[in-house]
Structure 1
């Protein structure tokens, strides 16, 4: 009790005795303890304040412990307390040092385990890729193809030798019939749509009010900046696909603003991307001479196609969703089955010049390619022949886009202009002249064929038929590389070398 009084610098009040433990307490303190806990502090038994026994002492005499009756005894008590405190402090320091050593050892073990796991994961990925490259092609020699892309990765070439000739399966009568049937259906549907403009389509006045509503800079690496390709899932318009300078492709959900998947596997930058309209599947092309088909939920490569001997420069998915058209600087275009990995046909350009881009006509029976020598060429897929040429540009063709109405083709090159071609008359009927030095990197019509978007030095929207500017966006701080319309042109997306994906819509 005396020690408590010394610490608190308070004069002790009336001492009391607990009937349960027989201990002496200051009345004020023990009453407070009982009110809070309802028990004896020594024995823990239930106790009430009324049970405390007052000690009857003269007001002048205060009870003292026997050890406090002299100064030497008090000093000895204090010395004992100090010694005990020092011993306790030494023991605590010993225990702290031991805990530090154990923690350090555990951290080293964890780091070593992580390194081993990372190395094993890389070895497994390499082994899977080697297996995919060596595994025989599935479905060759059969008349039917799987209805979905197979899970094991199947390569279209053996043992990683890019220069080895690839066997062409050929355009069978069954494949040609499938293409023809699809074209017939699409032509009928397009003619029906062409009679009316969708009610949900954004109007010219609304386009003029478009503003930047979102900017996402974190989809690709900041150390290797630049987004080079863009596509939107035409079934789920919230999902956006980008290809980057960092060798990765990213699937991003604009509604939740979350990255859905990061697709890693290419050994060089990704310059072309396609989001499959009917499946959670994407297709990417790269200067590493490969085309990869990815399964988005698992972020894994399902097919690795090596049908070119040079960088892949163009990709276009056939309307059936089963075949991919690709172009390359190796002067060839190729038509491959993405279900089996078979190369159906590979054709060299008639002028034997490098090809820069490609796109299917909405019906899927013809397609266009751009060349290094400024030519835009139209090809018949069934006959595998060049049926028309559109000269007039200067410099390599950088982008082409067919209008959904099936009659117009927009093209761009390194000459600061966009040319519009009439596929019925096979002539240039309009040239949109841009500012000197303007670079065009991508073109895109909306689904209705009402608007044309241009990406390059800036991002702009033109009204078709009148071919007038509706809106210009200068928000990117570097060259814009990709542009796509959302459903019914309700929003516009663009990518840029400034590492951002920007979305434009009514505020």
Structure 2
């Protein structure tokens, strides 16, 4: 608050003098200032109202000139005032026009800078992807794979993994056996009772669509082709798209966590590591990529096949990946070093492999082929130990139940067949609608429910094998389906570019 009266030609009303500073003030203002601050506004020394000294001065009046009292003079004054206002308005208009031009130029520069930054970010991302692709060729993978593989490097320096792979060492076999023993004991300890908190079948009957997310992949190349859910934190899930990308999504925050770019063709298989923020993807470009979700960078690039990869399954140890391909081979690879440990070709079959899945214990695995063959393999011996005939058409999906006894398979014959691994027989066949296409099968973690994704999404109650719920919300083929913890929710993806969440 400015309370100081500047000296001018006019004398303030009720002037007073401060004996502290000698300055002249208007009494009303200086009294208010003293009441607030108790000091002189000039010298900042203590001052009271009683110390103020009144000044007695004659009142000055400035009579208007005689020429200003006539009507023409008043009109002239008004005209002068109008002219001044118009000149001021014109000046303001000029300033506004200049400010608009400067703002337009600044916005143009900002837009140009934003475009340059976006282009540079894209170039940096492409360079990082190229670097990740070149890492195995720069000597990293050959060094880990030993001289035998390094000797097979091509002229460009990239080592091609031999068809038989490096084999399973005693340490690897021992690790597989120990893991299987622990898992078998845990399964026996759990017994045949359902886990606490498992969603009741009647609750699943009342499931409805809770959310639909259409923006995970490019709209110009529509279609989500694969889905997997993190077992520990089921809010996280990964999808593979026809746009060549894999997307990590958090259903709780409804935010995209990471977009994994690097494949040259559509991403048809995805696996979310059960205990780490790591994703494994595969594509018809023959590549298998291991990703770090936090950095969206490729950790390992595995070249196990010479044709499109059709199936991926992570071993219970979390260290090895099973892959199948149209090159008639299945491969067992170490995701930590990006090395193929073994690659097996079914000499008795002439049909490409279309699906592959590990048994929960990890010592056996199943594969499906284009000519409807289902085969069970011993991983340690790499030998075919059982065959399940009965389907017609290419096998589209296979899934082992967590109880370790059941195997579910689907093919182009619109059926889902259930097999007993103890008796090696087909004990149940679910006949679907004519023309029904099954793209994915999934048991929940307790082995109580089986989900089917295809023409629609269906959930079956195991043992009775009765249908609990059908979801027809997708407008195109459903391509992937997964349960949440204790079947508290169900997620599905589709060629309609949406990820849907069902629950109660």
**TM-score bracket, shorter-length normalisation:** 0.7 to 0.9
Q: Distance in 2 between matches of 1:179 and 1:115?
A: 52
1:440 is displaced (CA, Å) by 0.9
Q: Distance in 1 between matches of 2:262 and 2:106?
A: 33
Alignment-derived partner of residue 476 in structure 1: 474
Task: Give the one of 351, 356, 378 matched to 1:353.
Answer: 351
Alignment-derived partner of residue 448 in structure 1: 446
Task: Give the one of 475, 499, 502 matched to 2:500.
Answer: 502
The answer on 1:273 being equivalent to 2:270 is: yes
Alignment-derived partner of residue 219 in structure 1: 216
Q: How does 1:30-109 map to 2 (within 5 A)?
A: 68-109=68-109
CA RMSD of aligned residues (A): 3.6
**Ranges in structure 2 where 5+ consecutive residues have no aligned partner:** 13-27, 34-40, 43-53, 147-151
- How many residues align? The count is 458
Q: Distance in 1 between matches of 2:200 and 2:155?
A: 54
Q: Would you say the 8 A contact 1:478–1:497 is kept in 2?
A: yes
Alignment-derived partner of residue 488 in structure 2: 490
Shifted more, 340-349 versus 115-124: the winner is 115-124
SS of corresponding position for 1:140: helix
The answer on 1:381 being equivalent to 2:379 is: yes
Alignment-derived partner of residue 145 in structure 1: none
Task: Give the one of 161, 167, 170 matched to 1:166.
Answer: 161
SS of corresponding position for 2:336: coil
Q: Would you say the 8 A contact 1:194–1:405 is kept in 2?
A: no
Q: 1:80 to 1:24 in 2, by over 3 A?
A: farther
Q: Would you say the 8 A contact 2:365–2:377 is kept in 1?
A: yes
Q: 1:141 to 1:336 in 2, by over 3 A?
A: closer
Alignment-derived partner of residue 397 in structure 2: 399
The answer on 1:140 being equivalent to 2:144 is: yes
Q: 1:103 to 1:288 in 2, by over 3 A?
A: farther
Q: Distance in 2 between matches of 1:370 and 1:123?
A: 41
Alignment-derived partner of residue 414 in structure 2: 416
1:198 is displaced (CA, Å) by 1.0
Q: Distance in 2 between matches of 1:197 and 1:174?
A: 35
The answer on 1:337 being equivalent to 2:340 is: no
Alignment-derived partner of residue 433 in structure 1: 431
SS of corresponding position for 2:140: coil
Q: Would you say the 8 A contact 1:137–1:341 is kept in 2?
A: no
Q: Would you say the 8 A contact 2:160–2:303 is kept in 1?
A: no
SS of corresponding position for 1:424: coil
| TM-score normalised according to structure 2 size | 0.81
Q: How does 1:240-389 map to 2 (within 5 A)?
A: 240-350=237-347, 351-389=349-387
Q: 1:67 to 1:482 in 2, by over 3 A?
A: farther
The answer on 1:194 being equivalent to 2:191 is: yes
Q: Distance in 2 between matches of 1:408 and 1:369?
A: 15
1:241 is displaced (CA, Å) by 1.7
Alignment-derived partner of residue 149 in structure 2: none
Q: Distance in 1 between matches of 2:65 and 2:385?
A: 116
SS of corresponding position for 1:438: coil
Q: How does 1:97-136 map to 2 (within 5 A)?
A: 97-132=97-132, 133=134, 134-136=137-139
1:120 is displaced (CA, Å) by 3.1
Q: Distance in 2 between matches of 1:85 and 1:160?
A: 80
1:272 is displaced (CA, Å) by 1.1
Q: 1:277 to 1:70 in 2, by over 3 A?
A: same
Alignment-derived partner of residue 183 in structure 1: 180
